[in-house]
C-alpha cells in the first residue's frame, strides 16, 4: 500500500478522535448543563460568580489545548508526526477527564440545593462557616475564603480546602467546599465548624506549630506518646476550633458520630491523623472541664468508659490509651492555652473565647431573649454561632424538649438562610 494511503488511513482515525474530544470539551462551556440555573441562583451571588469564573477558566484552558491539538494535526505530514499527535490526543483526553471531574464535583455540590428549603439550609451553613472562620482570621488580618456547603451521605463531614490544586492539576479550588452529611442537619451542625477549623489551621500554619508544641510538651511521656499526639495535631486543632465556637455541643455531636462498636471506637491505623475515637471523646470532655467545671459532659464520659471498657481494646491500643489518659489536661493546655505564632502570639481561647458558649452563658442568653432568639431575624443574624451551641446543648441535655428543639433549629436556620420572614 502506498505511503500516502497509510498516512490518510491513520490521519482519519486520529482526526476522528481529536474531533470527538475537542467537541466534548466545547460542550463543557455551558455550566447550566451541569447544574440547574435554579441551583446556581440558590448560591450567594459572590459565591456563584467565583465558582463559575474559576470553572470557566478551567474549561477555556482545556479548549485552548484542543485548538493547539487540532493545529498540530493539520500540520502533521509524516507517520512520526502523526504518532506524536496521537500521544498528544491521548494526553488531551486525560486532561478532559480530569477537567470533567472538577466540573462534576462542583456541579454535584451546587445541585444538592434541590429545593428552596434545602437551599436556605445550606446558605445558613455557608454563613455559619464564614462566621466561624472570621472570628479567628479577622483579628489576624487574614482573608476569609468563600464557602460552599453541600449535602451528601455518610457519617462524617469533610472539606476540600480553598486554594488546593484540583484534579486537572491547574485549577485551584475557588472556595472551601464542605460536605455536610444528612443526619447532621437533624441537629446542630457542629461538624461544619470542625471542618472550618481545618481550613483556618491550614491558612494560619497552626497544624505544624501545634504538632511541634505537642511533641515538645509531651516529650517526657513514655511509649512514643509525644510523636503519636503530634501526628494527631490537625484533628486536635479542628476539634479545639469546634469547641471554642460551639462548646459542649461539639463534644456531644462528635460523640454521636464516633459511638459505634468496639472495633470502631478503638480503631488505630498507623498514619491516620484522627485520634483513636475512645481518647478523642475524652479529650473533648477535658476541654469542657477546663473551661466550664462540672456538667453534663461528666455523665457522657462516665457512660463512654462504661460502654467501652479498655479491656475491649487490643493490647497495644489499650496501652496507648492508658498512657494518654493522664496527659489529656496537658494536651488541652497546649492546644487551647499556649500562645501560638499562628495566632500572633495569642492563644486560641483568647481570640475565640469558649466562655461565650458555656452552658451558663447560653442559659442567660435564652432567658434574656426568649423566643425572639429563634424567631427574630436580628438575633438569628447576630447570634448564629451561639444558636448552634445552644441547640446542640439542648439536644444533648433537654430530652423533655426533644420535639421543640428540632423545630427551633429548623426555623432559625431557614431564617438565617433567608426563607422565613422576620417575626
**pLDDT tens across 259-278, in order?**
989 999 999 998 899 999 99
* DSSP secondary structure code for residue 178 in this structure: E
Question: Are residue 42 and residue 88 in the same domain, yes or no?
Answer: yes
Question: Are residue 321 and residue 227 in the same domain, yes or no?
Answer: yes
pLDDT tens-place string over residues 183-200: 888 788 999 999 999 999
Question: Are residue 289 and residue 379 in the same domain, yes or no?
Answer: no
- Closest by CA position to 241, among listed 132, 395, 391: 132
- 26 Cβ neighbours under 8 A, 6+ residues apart: 63, 66
Share of the chain above pLDDT 70, in %: 98
For residue 16, pLDDT over 80 is answered with yes
Last residue of a domain, one of 60, 87, 109: 109
Is residue 242 within 8 Å of 236, Cβ to Cβ? no
Mean pLDDT is lowest, of 169-173, 302-306, 345-349, for: 169-173
102 is in which domain, residue-wise?
Answer: 3-109
pLDDT at 4 (0 to 100): 55
Q: Considering Cα of 164, then 170, then 175, then 180, what sign does the dihedral take? A: negative
pLDDT at 1 (0 to 100): 45
Question: Are residue 326 and residue 396 in the same domain, yes or no?
Answer: no
Average pLDDT value for residue range 391-412? 86
The model's pTM: 0.90
Decide if 168 is inside a domain. Answer: no
For residue 421, pLDDT over 80 is answered with no
Number of independent structural domains in the chain: 3
Average pLDDT value for residue range 354-371? 96
pLDDT at 404 (0 to 100): 81
Decide if 72 is inside a domain. Answer: yes
Last residue of a domain, one of 289, 310, 340: 340
Question: Are residue 305 and residue 370 in the same domain, yes or no?
Answer: no
pLDDT tens-place string over residues 69-86: 999 999 998 889 999 999
Decide if 144 is inside a domain. Answer: no
Last residue of a domain, one of 53, 74, 109: 109
- 257 Cβ neighbours under 8 A, 6+ residues apart: 155, 156, 191
What is the CA angle 379-382-383, rounded to 5? 80
What is the CA angle 99-100-102, rounded to 5? 65
Decide if 114 is inside a domain. Answer: no
Alpha helix (H) residue ranges in 259-343: 262-265, 277-292, 296-307, 315-324, 328-337
Question: Are residue 287 and residue 382 in the same domain, yes or no?
Answer: no
Question: Are residue 230 and residue 306 in the same domain, yes or no?
Answer: yes
Decide if 124 is inside a domain. Answer: no
Decide if 198 is inside a domain. Answer: no
Question: Are residue 263 and residue 369 in the same domain, yes or no?
Answer: no
Question: Are residue 334 and residue 387 in the same domain, yes or no?
Answer: no
Task: Give the Å distances, CA to CA, from 404 to 190, 271, 398, 413.
Answer: 19, 43, 10, 14
DSSP-derived 3-state class of residue 293? coil
Decide if 167 is inside a domain. Answer: no
Average pLDDT value for residue range 318-327? 93
Mean residue pLDDT across the chain: 92
Question: Are residue 284 and residue 229 in the same domain, yes or no?
Answer: yes
Question: Are residue 250 and residue 368 in the same domain, yes or no?
Answer: no
Question: Are residue 90 and residue 8 in the same domain, yes or no?
Answer: yes
Share of the chain above pLDDT 90, in %: 72
pLDDT at 422 (0 to 100): 37
Alpha carbons within 13 angstroms on the beta-carbon side of residue 331 total 31
For residue 357, pLDDT over 80 is answered with yes
Element (H, E) at 248: helix 248-258
Decide if 295 is inside a domain. Answer: yes
The residue ranking higher by pLDDT, 422 or 41, is: 41
- 20 Cβ neighbours under 8 A, 6+ residues apart: none
Neighbours of 314 (CB within 10 A): 12
For residue 376, pLDDT over 60 is answered with yes
Cβ-count burial of 383 within 10 angstroms (0-12 exposed, 13-18 middle, 19+ buried)?
buried
Amino acid at each position: 500500500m502506498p505511503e500516502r494511503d497509510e498516512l490518510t488511513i491513520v490521519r482519519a482515525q486520529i482526526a476522528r478522535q481529536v474531533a470527538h474530544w475537542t467537541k466534548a470539551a466545547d460542550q463543557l462551556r455551558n455550566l447550566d448543563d451541569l447544574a440547574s440555573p435554579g441551583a446556581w441562583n440558590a448560591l450567594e451571588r459572590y459565591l456563584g460568580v467565583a465558582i463559575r469564573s474559576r470553572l470557566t477558566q478551567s474549561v477555556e484552558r482545556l479548549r485552548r489545548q484542543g485548538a493547539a491539538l487540532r493545529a498540530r494535526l493539520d500540520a502533521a505530514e509524516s507517520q512520526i508526526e502523526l504518532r506524536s499527535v496521537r500521544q498528544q490526543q491521548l494526553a488531551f483526553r486525560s486532561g478532559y477527564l480530569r477537567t470533567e471531574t472538577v466540573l462534576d464535583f462542583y456541579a454535584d455540590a451546587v445541585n444538592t440545593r434541590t429545593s428552596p428549603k434545602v437551599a436556605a439550609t445550606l446558605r445558613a451553613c455557608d454563613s455559619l462557616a464564614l462566621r466561624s472562620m472570621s472570628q479567628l482570621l479577622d483579628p489576624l488580618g487574614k482573608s476569609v475564603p468563600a464557602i460552599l456547603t453541600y449535602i451528601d451521605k455518610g457519617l462524617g463531614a469533610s472539606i476540600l480546602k480553598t486554594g488546593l490544586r484540583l484534579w486537572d492539576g491547574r485549577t485551584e479550588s475557588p472556595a472551601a467546599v464542605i460536605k455536610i452529611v444528612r443526619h447532621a442537619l437533624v441537629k446542630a451542625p457542629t461538624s461544619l465548624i470542625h471542618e472550618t477549623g481545618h481550613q483556618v489551621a491550614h491558612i494560619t500554619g497552626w497544624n505544624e506549630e501545634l504538632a511541634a508544641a505537642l511533641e515538645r510538651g509531651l516529650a517526657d511521656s513514655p511509649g512514643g506518646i509525644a510523636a503519636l499526639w503530634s501526628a494527631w495535631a490537625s484533628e486536635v486543632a479542628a476539634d479545639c476550633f469546634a469547641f471554642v465556637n460551639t462548646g459542649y455541643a461539639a463534644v456531644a455531636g462528635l460523640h454521636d458520630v464516633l459511638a459505634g462498636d468496639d472495633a470502631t471506637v478503638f480503631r488505630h491505623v498507623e498514619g491516620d491523623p484522627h485520634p483513636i475515637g475512645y481518647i478523642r471523646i475524652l479529650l473533648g470532655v477535658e476541654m469542657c472541664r477546663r473551661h466550664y467545671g462540672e456538667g453534663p459532659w461528666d455523665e457522657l464520659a462516665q457512660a463512654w468508659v462504661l460502654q467501652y471498657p479498655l479491656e475491649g481494646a487490643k493490647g497495644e491500643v489499650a496501652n496507648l490509651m492508658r498512657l494518654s489518659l493522664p496527659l489529656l489536661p496537658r494536651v488541652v493546655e497546649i492546644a487551647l492555652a499556649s500562645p501560638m505564632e499562628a495566632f500572633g502570639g495569642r492563644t486560641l481561647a483568647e481570640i475565640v473565647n469558649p466562655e461565650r458558649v458555656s452552658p451558663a452563658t447560653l442559659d442567660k442568653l435564652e432567658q434574656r431573649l426568649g423566643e425572639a432568639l429563634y424567631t427574630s431575624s436580628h438575633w438569628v443574624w447576630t447570634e448564629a454561632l451561639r444558636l448552634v451551641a445552644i441547640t446542640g446543648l439542648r439536644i444533648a441535655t433537654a430530652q423533655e424538649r426533644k420535639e421543640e428543639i428540632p423545630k427551633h433549629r429548623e426555623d432559625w436556620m431557614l431564617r438565617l438562610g433567608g426563607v422565613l420572614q422576620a417575626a
